[in-house]
Amino acid sequence: MVGRYRLGKRLGRGGMGTVWEASDELLGRSVAVKELHVGDGTQFRGAVREARTVAQIKHPHVVVVHDVVEHEGRPFIVMELVEGRSLADRLAADGPLDPAETARTGLALLGALNAAHARGVLHRDIKPANVLLEAGTGRVVLTDFGIARLAGSTTISETGAFVGSPEYTSPERMQGAGAGPASDLWSLGVLLCAALTGASPFHRDSLGGVLHAVVYDEIRPPEQAGPLLPVILGLLERDPERRLGTVQAERLLSAYVTTGTLPLSDLSDLSDLVSGPKPPRPARRRTWLIAAALVAVAAAGGVTAASLAGDRTAGRAPGAGPSAPATASATAAPASPGAGAPVPQAPAGATPEPAPPGYRIRADPQGFALAVPEGYQRTTDDQRVFYSSPDGAIRIGIKVKPSAPEGPLGVMRRADAAGPDTNPGYRDRSVLATTHNGLPAALWEFTWDGFTRAEGARHTFDLCWDENGRMYDVWVSAPVSRLAEARSRFDAALDSFVPAGAGSASP
């Protein structure tokens, strides 16, 4: 090829080109040659211009471009040959990465993107297949800028067809808006999820399903993310103007790679992700989930979390040795299925939303209404109301009391401080100041050893907030093995909850 490059075995083929292993016979070195799949001369000139711009990006985590040549009317980009495999191949062969390795990979890619964006180059196709892992050194290399857009110019990527990998494409691009550096950062957030689980969180069986998932579906990062959740959720902010920026993401990941924790000073800066204007109620899905992620590192970093333990005495489950978990209102022993109380009428002025499928709107004499799963039974003690699943394993708890001077966060912090005394094996706890329907709130999560060894560890989601002079506390406690079901119950309870006096006349 042009008297210098001899093509060898084919390394791979994608929508934009075919990559070959080749020999640079002039310099006596092995290289990778990408044959671009382009059409007319305009596209060729765009490809050459774009490749030359990428060649100016000097960064250890960006593939080195050596040359751009034409052979038999087709453009070829000559690049360094990275001996190793792609991240996609690594995940397929060996399974997901752990958080530490994921953070290291993300930090390398952020450096590559920062260097590219500084020269006006957008990658536009960040995915595991375009990340190379060099054998022996572990170097992470971002490659395949073949569909990258050089800001302000026409390139091979503008053919009228969808360009990129839908599962890794930002919502703004899906909706036809212009792409910017923030679009690459969204893709990086998806890639981090894929590195932790082996698959994109937006994978669906059809392109239409992918489009809907990216643009509309609730974003639930993987549980494997652990302490990286604040970074991932910051990158997966659908509003590009509020999305986590390169500098802050680099600072967070660098701190985690170095120390194993995220710096709390930077986490506090992410509060805008959970305290901004709330969308209309039908579109609102769990600000608390993002809030929890922002402090998911609390346990690892030794953060004092917040809860509602100061005014409770923990109950005991029937036959259980350890005390029951202290929640914002303290979780009491499960009620027997036959102990349900009659369902009273809704509080005056309340306007609860229709119950989701499988739920009923329960109006409680304590002054609230909420959606409760069919078959759940109501019990009370001297301070709290419980709705328990038929087997007693999952409990929804509610407590109403006058607002406390220290507010929801202060009350939660008292509860957290008492957590080790009231919950054997108390761990994985986190507390965050957040909002609920625009009102001051605090979210507490924790895991503990559970009532019995047979049942195993339990996890609690607990949110309290101030409204009209009252403090409302809603929590769900369930075995760790049923965490997804518990989270769904918690979502439904909070989304449907209507306090006494709420309705059209409320401010």
- The full DSSP string for 269-318 is HTTHHHHSPPPPGGG---HHHHHHHHTTTHHHHT----BS-TT----B-T
- CA–centroid distance for 389 within its chain: 29
Domain containing residue 275: CATH number: 1.10.510.10
Round to whole Å and give the CA distance between 144 and 79.
Answer: 10
Least Cα distance to 253 among 88, 114, 371 occurs for: 114
507 residues of the chain, pLDDT tens digit each: 667 888 888 887 765 678 888 888 888 888 888 887 665 565 666 667 667 777 778 889 988 888 888 777 777 888 888 888 999 999 999 999 999 999 999 999 999 999 989 888 888 889 999 999 998 888 999 987 755 444 443 333 444 445 568 899 999 888 777 778 999 999 999 999 999 999 999 998 888 888 888 988 888 888 888 889 889 999 999 999 889 999 889 989 998 988 888 775 555 455 444 334 333 333 333 333 333 333 333 333 332 222 232 222 233 333 223 333 444 433 333 333 233 333 333 344 445 567 888 999 999 988 899 999 999 999 998 789 999 999 999 999 999 999 999 999 999 999 999 999 888 999 988 888 888 888 889 999 999 998 888 778 999 999 999 998 899 999 999 998 888 888 889 988 998 999 865 543 332
Token representation of residue 276: 């901004």
**Cα distances (angstroms) measured from residue 151 to each of 53, 119, 164, 280, 406:** 11, 9, 16, 35, 51
- In total, the chain counts a number of residues equal to 507
Whether residue 506 lies inside any domain: the answer is no
Give yes or no for a contact between 146 and 105, defined as CB atoms under 8 angstroms apart: no
Domain containing residue 354: CATH number: 3.40.1000.10
Q: Are residues 353 and 423 in the same domain?
A: yes
Helix, coil or strand: residue 42: helix
Token representation of residue 386: 């419980």
Q: Name the phi and psi angles at 332, rounded to 5.
A: -90, 175
Helix, coil or strand: residue 7: strand
For residue 394, the model assigns a pLDDT of 94
- Close Cβ partners of 170 (under 8 Å, ≥ 6 residues apart): 179, 182, 183, 186, 187, 214, 240
Least Cα distance to 105 among 81, 122, 130 occurs for: 130
The last residue of one of the domains, among 49, 80, 111, is 80
Token representation of residue 55: 């060649």
Q: Are residues 93 and 156 in the same domain?
A: yes
Round to whole Å and give the CA distance between 36 and 162.
Answer: 17
The last residue of one of the domains, among 250, 283, 298, is 298
Helix, coil or strand: residue 11: strand
Round to whole Å and give the CA distance between 43 and 304.
Answer: 58
For the CA atoms of the chain, what is the radius of gyration?
Answer: 27
Helix, coil or strand: residue 476: strand
For residue 280, the model assigns a pLDDT of 33
Q: Are residues 47 and 138 in the same domain?
A: no
Three-class secondary structure assignment of 365-410: CCCEEEEEECCCEEEECCCEEEEECCCCCCEEEEEEEECCCCHHHH
Strand 140-142 to 359-364 pairing: unpaired
Whether residue 482 lies inside any domain: the answer is yes
Q: Which residues pair with 462 in a beta bridge?
A: 444, 475
Strand 395-402 to 470-479 pairing: antiparallel
Q: Are residues 129 and 269 in the same domain?
A: yes
DSSP state, residue 143? -
Whether residue 60 lies inside any domain: the answer is yes
The last residue of one of the domains, among 80, 108, 143, is 80
Whether residue 332 lies inside any domain: the answer is no
Q: Are residues 163 and 255 in the same domain?
A: yes
Residue in this structure with the two tokens 């923990």, named with its chain if needed: 314
Whether residue 57 lies inside any domain: the answer is yes
Q: Are residues 41 and 102 in the same domain?
A: no
Round to whole Å and give the CA distance between 473 and 443.
Answer: 10
- Close Cβ partners of 467 (under 8 Å, ≥ 6 residues apart): 437, 439, 499, 502
Token representation of residue 161: 């067809």
Give yes or no for a contact between 328 and 429, defined as CB atoms under 8 angstroms apart: no
Q: Are residues 54 and 115 in the same domain?
A: no
Q: Are residues 74 and 192 in the same domain?
A: no
Q: Are residues 131 and 62 in the same domain?
A: no
Whether residue 55 lies inside any domain: the answer is yes
Give yes or no for a contact between 320 and 390, defined as CB atoms under 8 angstroms apart: no
Residue type, 507: P
**Cα distances (angstroms) measured from residue 220 to each of 207, 223, 358:** 19, 9, 22
Token representation of residue 315: 């109950």
For residue 338, the model assigns a pLDDT of 32
Q: Are residues 74 and 127 in the same domain?
A: no
Q: Are residues 279 and 393 in the same domain?
A: no
For residue 344, the model assigns a pLDDT of 36
Whether residue 318 lies inside any domain: the answer is no
Residue type, 170: S
Range of the structural domain that residue 32 is part of: 5-80
Which of the residues 125, 144, 364, 416 is marked catalytic?
125
Domain count, the chain: 3
Whether residue 306 lies inside any domain: the answer is no
Q: Are residues 349 and 450 in the same domain?
A: yes
67 part of the active site: no
Strand 377-380 to 368-373 pairing: unpaired
Angle value at C-alpha 286, between 107 and 187, nearest 5 degrees: 30
